[in-house]
């Protein structure tokens, strides 16, 4: 269940600070947006602050001209999407492919904005990035490029690397496609990739996955981008350290003690997502709004973790980092 307090905390101090954009709303209209997300984690912290700040700059103030409908305990994504449609919300905002697909299956008329999915056109969520068609648009991450770059970075940090483990939640939220993208990227780099699926409903499954990696003599770890995993990023990072596996994934992983993160700048991506909401609430049709891809990507390296692993990061790789965590 999403914490309403967590969502509005950073809005409170700025309620009177932002000017209302007259064109952003109908007179007296209070827009209703349904939040459809697979997990609380991706909606906390700095990335979401970027989204809410962008909305505020566009003139949308929660409690004044905008309200959010939140998930209820026990609702699965499909059921929740149907509830939002029944409530006649003005727009459904989704995080991750599972949520976007549930919303698309629930309605062909209510506008849907995706904040983050992998390869929206390839996965069939939209007809094409340039002409999405239907009632869905938003931001799409080029996961094939992302997978290739992450493995290249691991190889740059460990030139003799040959065996990489990929931690995934299986078929949920585009994970099967993500695993295929990782495997396709591994071959040209001379890497053997083995996927390890975990069930987040089983508390010990992550530990068992790491035990299997050890048996298979994995030398490094790539971690899925799945929103559900965000709850366990810190634990995964620490287990990787315990098992002496240099790891790479999304930014929360490296902040939790992983070795590296490479991906789209989450603040920029979420801020840009707010512009889709604004355009649709002002009358634009999702079918006419091309799906966009992030333009800002960042590399973060945790040298403290590198030292703990006894790994020397090449100076050339450090020089490419947007941030180095000491």
DSSP for 184-228, please give it: HHHGGGT-EEEEEE--TTSTTHHHHHHHHHHHTT--EEEE---GG
Alpha helices in 22-142 (DSSP H): 46-57, 77-86, 97-106
Q: Which domain holds residue 219?
A: 143-264+298-325
Tell me: do 257 and 270 sit in the same domain. no
CATH number at residue 77: 3.40.50.2300
Tell me: do 24 and 122 sit in the same domain. yes
Tell me: do 242 and 167 sit in the same domain. yes
Tell me: do 137 and 47 sit in the same domain. yes
Tell me: do 11 and 130 sit in the same domain. yes
Contact assessment for residue 35 and residue 69, using Cβ atoms and an 8 Å cutoff: yes
pLDDT at position 195 is: 92
260-264 and 297-302: which strand pairing? antiparallel
Give the rounded distance of the alpha carbon of 49 from its chain centre.
Answer: 14
**How many domains is the chain partitioned into structurally?**
2
Tell me: do 134 and 274 sit in the same domain. yes
Tell me: do 79 and 186 sit in the same domain. no
DSSP 8-class letter at 130: S
Task: Please give the chain's pLDDT, 326 residues, in tens.
Answer: 444 444 444 333 343 334 444 444 555 789 999 988 755 444 445 556 778 889 999 999 988 999 988 766 556 888 999 999 999 999 999 887 888 999 999 999 999 999 878 888 888 899 999 999 999 999 998 888 888 999 999 999 999 999 999 998 765 556 677 788 889 999 999 999 999 988 766 768 889 999 999 999 999 999 987 555 555 788 899 999 999 999 999 888 898 999 999 998 878 888 899 999 999 999 999 999 999 998 889 999 999 999 999 999 999 999 999 999 98
Tell me: do 176 and 133 sit in the same domain. no
Tell me: do 318 and 280 sit in the same domain. no
Tell me: do 73 and 217 sit in the same domain. no
Q: Which helix (H) or strand (E) holds 177?
A: helix 175-186
- 244 in helix, strand or coil? coil
Tell me: do 204 and 67 sit in the same domain. no
Q: pTM, whole model, 2 decimals?
A: 0.80
pLDDT at position 302 is: 97
pLDDT at position 170 is: 67
Burial 122-147 (b: 16+ CB within 10 A, else e): bbebbeebeebebbbbbbbbbbbebb
| Maximum pairwise Cα distance, the chain | 64
Tell me: do 72 and 170 sit in the same domain. no
């Amino acid at each position: 269940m999403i914490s309403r307090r967590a969502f509005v905390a950073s809005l409170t101090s700025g309620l009177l600070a932002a000017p209302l954009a007259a064109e952003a709303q109908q007179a007296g209209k209070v827009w209703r947006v349904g939040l459809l997300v697979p997990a609380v984690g991706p909606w906390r912290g700095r990335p979401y602050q970027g989204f809410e700040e962008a909305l505020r700059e566009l003139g949308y103030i929660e409690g004044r001209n905008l309200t959010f409908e939140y998930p209820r305990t026990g609702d699965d994504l499909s059921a929740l999407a149907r509830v939002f449609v029944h409530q006649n919300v003005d727009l459904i905002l989704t995080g991750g492919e599972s949520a976007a697909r549930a919303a698309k299956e629930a309605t062909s008329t209510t506008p849907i904005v995706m904040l983050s999915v992998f390869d929206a056109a390839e996965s069939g969520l939209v007809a094409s990035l340039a002409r999405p068609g239907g009632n869905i648009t938003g931001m799409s991450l080029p996961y094939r490029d992302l997978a290739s770059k992450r493995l290249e970075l691991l190889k740059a940090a460990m030139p003799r690397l040959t065996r990489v483990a990929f931690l995934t939640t299986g078929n949920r939220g585009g994970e099967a496609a993500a695993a295929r993208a990782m495997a396709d990227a591994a071959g040209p780099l001379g890497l053997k990739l083995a996927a390890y699926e975990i069930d987040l409903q089983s508390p010990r499954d992550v530990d068992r996955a790491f035990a299997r990696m050890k048996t298979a003599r994995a030398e490094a770890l790539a971690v899925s981008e799945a929103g559900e995993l965000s709850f366990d990023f810190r634990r995964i990072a620490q287990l990787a350290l315990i098992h002496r596996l240099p790891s790479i994934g999304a930014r929360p992983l490296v902040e939790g003690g992983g070795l590296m993160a490479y991906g789209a700048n989450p603040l920029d991506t979420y801020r840009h997502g707010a512009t889709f909401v604004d355009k649709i609430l002002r009358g634009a049709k999702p079918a006419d709004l091309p799906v966009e891809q992030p333009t800002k990507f960042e590399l973060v390296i945790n040298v403290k973790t590198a030292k703990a692993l006894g790994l020397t990061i090449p100076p050339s790789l450090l020089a490419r980092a947007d941030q180095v965590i000491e």
